[in-house]
Amino acid sequence: MHDDRNLVEARLKRVLDERIRPAVHPESIPLDVAVWNAPGEPVPVTEGLAAPTEPIAVGDRWGAPWGTCWFRISGTVPEAWAGRTVEAILDLGFDENMPGFQCEGLVYRPDGTPVKGLNPRNQWVRIGAPVAGGEDVLLHIEAASNPVILDYHPFLPTQLGDKETAGSEPQYTLARMDLAVFDENVWNLVQDLEVLGELMQELPVEGARRWDVLRAIGRALDAVDLQDVNGTAAAARAELAAVLATPAEPTAHRISAVGHAHIDSAWLWPLRETVRKVARTTSNMTALLEDEPDFVFAMSQAQQFAWIKEHRPEVYAKVKKAVADGRFVPSGGMWVESDTNMPGSEAMARQFVHGKRFFLDEFGIENDEAWLPDTFGFAAGLPQIIKAAGSKWLLTQKISWSQTNKFPHHTFQWEGIDGTRIFTHFPPVDTYNCSMKGSEIAHAAKNFKDKGVARHSLAPTGWGDGGGGTTREMIAKAARMRSLEGSATVTWETPTDFFTKAEAEYPNAPVWVGELYLELHRATLTSQAKTKQGNRRSEHLLREAELWAATAAVRTGFPYPYEQLDRIWKTVLLHQFHDILPGSSIAWVHREAEKTYAAVAEELNGIVDAAMRALAKDTPSGETLVFNSAPHTRGGVPAGGAAAVTVGSGGRLAPREDGGYVLDNDLLQVEIDSRGLVVSAYDIGAEREAVAPGQAANLLQIHPDFPNMWDAWDVDAFYRNTVTDLTDLDELTPVEEGGVVGVRIVRSFGDSKVTQQLTLSPGAKRLDIDTEVEWHETEKFLKAAFPLDIHAERYASETQFGHFYRATHTNTSWETAKFEACNHRFVHLEEPGWGVALVNDSTYGHDVTRSVRDCDAGTTTTVRVSLLRAPRFPDPETDQGVHRFRHALAPGAAIGDAVREGFRINLPERRVVGERAVAPLVTVDNDAVVVSAVKLADDASGDVVVRLYESTGGRARVRLGTGFELVGMTVTDLLERPLAVGNVPVRVDGGVQLSLRPFELVTVRLTRG
């Protein structure tokens, strides 16, 4: 037989496009349209419905950037349409290729009842099925004219990302406002032909099934009268019935489809617009659930549920009912789908505390899965946190974006730094916006790496980011693929259904140990420095506020601010969303974030100050007390306590012959040359030099930074090919004050200026580096290099509740790909018996390289901290302005010293005048054990909750002492619920004895007498 595949396939495409799809709505009449342009920000629904309107016609322009237009749509169903199904087709000017990235609308009835969302792939509203004829139609559309930021030519700088610079030019043209007859038979023919045509493309040419499908399609097209599609659709469908009814092979891959609409809580739109995106999407999905009995929809992010509860109660009522029916599934158990690399230990824990508690309180639902399809890699401390929150599974998709190495599993056990394992799944469909295309389903089956031992995968199905979620077309196509020869089987299931089956069939899944590093989007560790600083400082202020408020509540009856802290935590957690904290949102988002962090700091400092004054018995006649919020004793002040202290003898400063200076405090001797560079950092006690021979530390370096795509997200390896060392000097001045000795350095480069103060304090075995950068560069990357005389094959980076080791070498492509990585408060390098720590107060990105020196064949290991970038998309003014950073170089530091110095630089001492010293509320007798939180229990019982962890990677026995009468103790999960199994504490006089494994996290609830 002659091969006529191309002929049939081309015929199918044209007939579908030009004849069959247009026949879905064979008759239509125009609707009358009027509009009201809301001034400024969005208005309440009642105001929008009642506003005066003026006529507007199809073809007219509408919608200034970030504006809102309320359209009033009216008309009458023709009497001749009686008995037929009628829909309104409402096209606001959509581009079907941009669901979620342009204008959107929410349709209301005149009484304010939400009907459904309008999106590029979802433009219909059902009027009646059937209609009686003669009905009056009146609908209102709240339409958002969100501008297109990511266009067909992506990553071009644009001023549209900020309302203040976006202008007022209308963005859209009203395209269609009609009443139309809906022919369900033709619509079903479209779904039949699409499913079979897409399946056919994926089947092997040599197989009989492909030809059976091809011939059936040919017969169906023969049966269609192109001048009477509606009258012949049934005959065409009959020709396809047999091939659609042939069941799938018993060995077919099995896909659990989960209705999904991944909505970024902010990205190319501000937070306020996400509230409306969620309302539109959930209105769509609750309506679809009513029409489709097999459909299941899952939505993550407790914050998004909370938003519609607060701002769209009429929508939330429908959501809550659908949740109660088991069809609308709250998933993930986190406050938002956060970044997981940069959030600190407590913040990462609180994502689950606040997320899971919201779902429990609102719906009585406990999540077993963490749901993070779009997060940019996963820190090695996360498995323990997931388990400590009472969950056991993880789903993500983003690792499929890695550019260098393909991850070897789709279903596996992920092991974290403490040994905790979490059953994890990467959907092989390689998208979290599956649309049920045959190519997607075939790719999932072919791509699945665990064939032969497992057969299940998950497909998150629906348009995200405000694209409207799952469509009726996706559901129809899934129904045809429930059991279809040549295809994977598709069944709508909840995440729990999927994970239960997947785990049962794969009890010995392979294990992946350590971080899940995304080989892409590495620059998110540096972009938008002020957002990152706001996060870091908010995390530590929250620690202080909880610690001192709890201490004051127990000691003085100070009113513990439960509701205030709860609200502030949720604000900070929201801003850890994976496009806010990583710096990949539009200017509007980061401009608002800076203001929000300032307000958070003011509130938290107020709590801290009031609690400290209550504890110290504030009085003008008292002495100055030093409060220590860090988890280690320092300067004679115990952790979590306050005392009067005296300052020891100061350091010495002397000139060098070259015009530089020598700093000395009997622990360290630091030499700074005439260029203002650190050429020696000598550990006097160990008689060991930290800086590599012939090298200089604290060397600022600048690179060109123009990645191939994803400007704010990416830094490509070729950036290293060109580097400029910033050694020109404007000023080098000695500094001496209060026993602190140092130098002030000023440099100019490009259009920017940097001022640094390098200081050595009494009794401190570290060089403090304070940096101020007045940054006005574009598409540049600023780093600070520290070449160290250390031979190490690996180095430690702090992560949640511990640290993680990465290689310093590039033996394999996996190690080579990690050319930019994340740390929290410290990076630590060590030879046996001696090491160096580099700590920071607000930076995350860094790189580590090693080389062998010609002069002595020794190894130089260079750590470079990433300070600033200047991408132009999506915020063309990224990081322009003044920035301040604090770092410290600590020669001779063991890993425990790195932990201690990291807390020190992030938790500066506070001073209050008062009459009495403050004893700690709780104490630990082992410096390897870090107390990460001291607070009152969230249930307002008055119990004291203490969270602690082993910080050095070894075993630890610790006595947790209490500064109050202890009458009860319980080890709990993160939600402060008793654990049936786990670490068993031993009651000792006035405290609790615990034994911790390496990096083990324990939460203890203490009941006071």
Biggest CA–CA distance in the chain, Å, is 105
Which of 101, 667, 713 lies closest to 398, judged by CA? Answer: 713
Q: Give the Cα separation of 69 and 142 in Å (integer).
A: 6
Q: Give the Cα separation of 904 and 892 in Å (integer).
A: 17
Note if the bond before 978 is cis, omega within 30 degrees: no
Q: Give the Cα separation of 399 and 289 in Å (integer).
A: 31
Please, which residues have CB within 8 angstroms of residue 178's CB and are 6 or more apart in sequence?
25, 28, 29, 30, 31, 88, 89
User: For residue 192, how many other CB atoms are within 10 A of its CB?
Assistant: 24
Which of 203, 225, 280 lies closest to 19, judged by CA? Answer: 225
Active-site residue set: 374
Please, which residues have CB within 8 angstroms of residue 330's CB and are 6 or more apart in sequence?
298, 299, 300, 302, 305, 323, 359, 362, 363, 365, 367
- Contact between residue 367 and residue 399 where contact means Cβ atoms under 8 Å apart: no
Estimate the crossing angle of helix 345-363 against helix 302-311, to 10 degrees. Answer: 50
Which of 339, 280, 264 lies closest to 68, judged by CA? Answer: 280
Query: If you write DSSP's letter for every residue of 531-598 in order, what string do you get?
Result: HHHHHHHHHHHHHHHHHHHHHHHHHH-----HHHHHHHHHHHHHTTBTTTTTS-S-HHHHHHHHHHHH
Beta bridge partners of 740: 737
Which of 739, 779, 969 lies closest to 873, judged by CA? Answer: 779
Q: Can you say how many angstroms the Cα of residue 982 is from the centroid of all Cα atoms in its chain?
A: 30
Q: Give the Cα separation of 58 and 44 in Å (integer).
A: 26
Please, which residues have CB within 8 angstroms of residue 446's CB and are 6 or more apart in sequence?
none
Q: Give the Cα separation of 864 and 698 in Å (integer).
A: 9
Please, which residues have CB within 8 angstroms of residue 913's CB and are 6 or more apart in sequence?
616, 618, 619, 620, 622, 623, 624, 625
708 token code pair: 């191939």
745 token code pair: 């350095």
Angle ∠(979,567,1007) on CA atoms, nearest 5: 35
Q: State the DSSP code for 376.
A: S
Q: Can you say how many angstroms the Cα of residue 971 is from the centroid of all Cα atoms in its chain?
A: 30
Beta bridge partners of 117: 106
The SS3 assignment for 260 reads coil
- Contact between residue 143 and residue 81 where contact means Cβ atoms under 8 Å apart: no
Angle ∠(525,350,925) on CA atoms, nearest 5: 95
The SS3 assignment for 725 reads strand
E-strand spans in 109-196?
Answer: 114-118, 124-128, 136-145, 172-173, 176-182
Q: Give the Cα separation of 352 and 573 in Å (integer).
A: 10
256 token code pair: 């659990």
* Size of the chain, expressed as the number of residues it contains: 1009
Q: Give the Cα separation of 587 and 242 in Å (integer).
A: 55
491 token code pair: 């069944």
Please, which residues have CB within 8 angstroms of residue 127's CB and are 6 or more apart in sequence?
77, 86, 87, 88, 135, 137, 179
Residue type, 202: E
- Contact between residue 169 and residue 64 where contact means Cβ atoms under 8 Å apart: yes
Q: What separation, in Å, do the N-terminal and C-terminal C-alpha atoms of the chain show?
A: 91
